[in-house]
Amino acid sequence: MDRLVNFSAGPSALPLEVLQRAQSELVNTNASGMSVMEMSHRSREFERILVNAQSRLKKMMNIPDSYKILFLQGGASLQFSMIPLNLLQTDHKAAYLITGSWSKKALLEAEKVGKAKIYASSEENGFKSIPSFSQSALSPDTDYLHITGNNTIEGTRITELPDTGSVPIVTDLSSSILSERINVEDYGVIYAGAQKNLGPSGVTVVIIREDLIGRASKATPSMLDYATHVKANSLYNTPPTFGIYMIGLVLEWIESLGGIDELEARNHEKASFLYDAIDQSSVFSSPINKKDRSLMNIPFTSLDPDTDSAFLHFAESKGLVELKGHRSVGGMRASLYNAMPYEGVERLVDAMKQFEKQTV
């Protein structure tokens, strides 16, 4: 089969086993006599699919009963607005840790809703590291601190959380959910677009602590109020049914491999293998502070746009695709989400070594 090694940052490669299972069930899902795409979202059969995805996620991430799991639409980008619309009270503040383009976008939306301030930022050094933060910098009228757990474009990740006391931390885990073990109770809200580690685009997972639900002002449109979706268990309106079904299959696949802890070990192995190759290379280097390097998105560059472009062509001729860095940073970026096998990284490292021999 001619499947390419797909290093896309998102939507990204899905496990072949999951795609094949979906293919085999596409016209008759779970022996229901119809495709999941043809089912009423109010049917018993679909409810089973929804509950299956929720309960597998709850078990896998150890989500306590005091949190609700929602499957919404509008991407992670809509959460940039929903978070302040639901959590930011009039005359209070929200704090934002600015670690890349996505956190800047999140801040921009919060500023439209109310008062939002920068907690710390690494913009000055081009987001090559996670900024250091003073532990006690939050005033008591701060409703939440927003962070971006993994910075998809810049290739950094947050490994240490600030001590915010009773101020809830809201984290955007779009590009790292299920890649490593996290303690859900460290957060008030966790959200992630599905299209990297969870399934196809079109679904956004929101995990929210109960006491943060029901705080939106009366003027908040029903569709943007978490309380609406919690009350209806993600069935207020037609949810992204196919995406939710696919998330269930991806979770089953992760269970079959041994769960998050196994994936975390694999992700460390894959990322170290590539970082070592980059650090030892005479052509390529990583611009990112070692301590803050992402396991999921690995940017590297030769520092010469023509050489980068020649490498991208060389890699593509070997079936290694979607390695071009984000247009805002240039160079290369390899995204190694859960579905990327170790062999895919080996093929990339081989290609880098061959290219180096030709170039030096």
Q: How far is the CB of 29 from ligand PMP (least distance, A)?
A: 25
Q: Which of 68, 115, 196, 324 is catalytic?
A: 196
Assess contact for 69 and 205: CB atoms under 8 A. yes
What SS3 class is residue 248? helix
Q: How far is the CB of 353 from ligand PMP (least distance, A)?
A: 29
304 catalytically annotated: no
Q: Which class for 64: exposed (0-12), middle (13-18), buried (19 or more C-beta within 10 A)?
A: exposed
With b for 16 or more beta-carbon neighbours within 10 A and e for fewer, the 261-300 pattern comes to eebbebbeebbebbbebbeebebbebbbeeebbbbbbbbb
Select 168 or 243, whichever has its Cβ closest to ligand PMP: 243
Q: Report the chain's terminal Cα–Cα distance, integer Å.
A: 34
What SS3 class is residue 189? strand
Ranges within 157-176 binding ligand PMP (CB under 6 A): 172, 174-175
d(CA 14, CA 11): 9
Q: How far is the CB of 38 from ligand PMP (least distance, A)?
A: 26
Q: How far is the CB of 336 from ligand PMP (least distance, A)?
A: 14
What Cα–Cα distance (Å) separates residue 238 from each residue in 38, 40, 214?
12, 9, 21
Q: Using the rule CB under 6 A, is 302 a contact of ligand PMP?
A: no
Q: Using CB under 6 A, which of 52, 54, 148, 164 touches ligand PMP? A: 148
Select 332 or 351, whichever has its Cβ closest to ligand PMP: 332
253 catalytically annotated: no
Q: Which of 68, 102, 270, 308 is catalytic?
A: 102
Q: Which stretch binds ligand PMP (CB under 6 A): 29-37, 69-77, 209-217, 262-270?
A: 69-77
Known binding residues for pyridoxal 5'-phosphate are 76-77, 102, 152, 172, 195, 237-238
Catalytic residue positions, numbered: 102, 172, 196
